[in-house]
């Protein structure tokens, strides 16, 4: 049997076609400090130019045997394009991701600029995706992600403010969420058009430990449905945190892939969603790549496979400061242990 290319492996997985083995990839950030060090650039620089962003994604992929490259790495590009100031920490040493020091006090103040795609670092992300498509797109999958409407709104207005207003002034919150939905639909389509093979929708701020299942059903689920109805396949919904209580609601949003983190009870989730939906998860992207032994790594990967996932991938961003031997061991274990069929995807 001819070994599949990384791109074929990932795309066949999404299409639920037989593959040779489980791919190693993510729908979240997976840039690594060893790759950045190999490029000889400070950590903040990976966020500032298309070349640095693309090259750090490629180097991370090649160094550790990933089947995809994923950009961007921070959650501030859209709020920055909307007019909020951000801190890049250009003079800091170590790993500090961009942050938003001051958000708008009210949803009323959030306005979507017509030219947001041309503002600040939005062209950097576009350029990185195009560069990845040109350099590796024939052999590797190219991934990107967008925050879901509630989580993205929480980058514009403080999340605790939105949560309180969702109960007391629901109309204002829903008006902001609808703005975010329209933007997410358009931007997701745009990223696919310029070269991304998949876009993961990360609605991280809506787990049951943050938002009640009742509110999820009322204000989140209808908007996720609208996004997935407008997007082409693959349709990926990622929610981290406590998701056991909302997994059936997540499965009724129109997504073809459900992605969860290590707080989810995978085996129960598989029973609830059946075998027709792809289930991805859910190793700890902080501890496993940095502190686990090789035996612990293989056990964690095997546990995910035994619980019924179709792809073992991190439940959130991989923290960049990985131990090289750990990151390599994770992907090696996925490839070696993932040769058996998964519930939704057969093997060649």
**HSE, side-chain direction, 13 A CA sphere, residue 178:** 7
Give the per-residue pLDDT at 159: 83
d(CA 68, CA 60): 10
Alpha carbon distance, N-terminus to C-terminus of the chain = 8
Give the per-residue pLDDT at 224: 99
3-class SS at 187? helix
The phi-psi region of residue 125 (left if phi > 0; otherwise alpha if psi is between -120 and 50; otherwise beta) is: alpha
Give the per-residue pLDDT at 296: 98
d(CA 286, CA 277): 27
Give the per-residue pLDDT at 80: 98
Q: Which residue is it, tokens 């999404």? A: 14
Give the per-residue pLDDT at 155: 96
Class of domain 6-337: alpha beta
Give the per-residue pLDDT at 167: 81
Give the per-residue pLDDT at 7: 98
Give the per-residue pLDDT at 252: 98
Please give the model's pTM, rounded to 2 decimal places: 0.97
Parts of the chain with a pLDDT under 50: none
Cβ pair 73, 128 in contact under 8 A: no
Give the per-residue pLDDT at 308: 98
d(CA 343, CA 13): 12
d(CA 165, CA 161): 6
Domain ranges within the chain, ordered by starting residue? 6-337
d(CA 279, CA 165): 33
């Amino acid at each position: 049997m001819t070994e599949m290319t990384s791109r074929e492996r990932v795309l066949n997985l999404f299409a639920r076609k037989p593959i040779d083995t489980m791919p190693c990839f993510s729908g979240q950030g997976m840039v690594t400090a060893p790759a950045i060090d190999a490029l000889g650039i400070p950590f903040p620089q990976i966020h500032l130019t298309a070349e640095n962003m693309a090259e750090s994604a490629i180097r991370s992929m090649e160094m550790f045997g990933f089947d995809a490259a994923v950009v961007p790495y921070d959650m501030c590009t859209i709020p920055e394009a909307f007019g909020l100031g951000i801190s890049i920490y250009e003079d800091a040493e170590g790993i500090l991701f961009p942050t938003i020091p001051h958000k708008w006090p009210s949803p009323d103040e959030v306005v979507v600029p017509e030219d947001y795609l041309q503002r600040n670092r939005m062209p950097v992300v576009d350029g990185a995706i195009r560069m990845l498509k040109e350099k590796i797109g024939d052999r590797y999958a190219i991934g990107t992600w967008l925050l879901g409407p509630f989580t993205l709104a929480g980058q514009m207005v403080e999340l605790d403010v939105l949560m309180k207003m969702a109960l007391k002034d629901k109309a204002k919150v829903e008006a902001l969420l609808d703005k975010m939905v329209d933007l997410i639909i358009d931007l997701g389509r745009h990223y696919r058009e310029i070269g991304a093979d998949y876009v993961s929708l990360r609605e991280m701020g809506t787990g049951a430990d943050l938002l009640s299942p009742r509110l999820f059903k009322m204000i989140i689920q209808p908007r996720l449905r609208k996004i997935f109805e407008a997007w082409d396949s693959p349709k990926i919904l990622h929610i981290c945190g406590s998701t056991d209580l909302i997994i059936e609601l997540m499965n009724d949003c129109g997504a073809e892939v459900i992605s969860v983190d290590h707080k989810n009870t995978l085996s129960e989730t598989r029973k609830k969603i059946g075998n027709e939906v792809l289930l991805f998860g859910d190793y700890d992207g902080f501890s496993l790549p940095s502190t686990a032994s090789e035996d612990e790594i293989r056990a964690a990967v095997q546990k995910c496979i035994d619980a019924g996932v179709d792809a073992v991938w991190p439940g959130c961003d991989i923290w960049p400061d990985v131990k090289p031997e750990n990151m390599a061991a994770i992907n090696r274990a996925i490839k070696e242990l993932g040769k058996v069929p998964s519930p939704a995807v057969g093997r060649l």
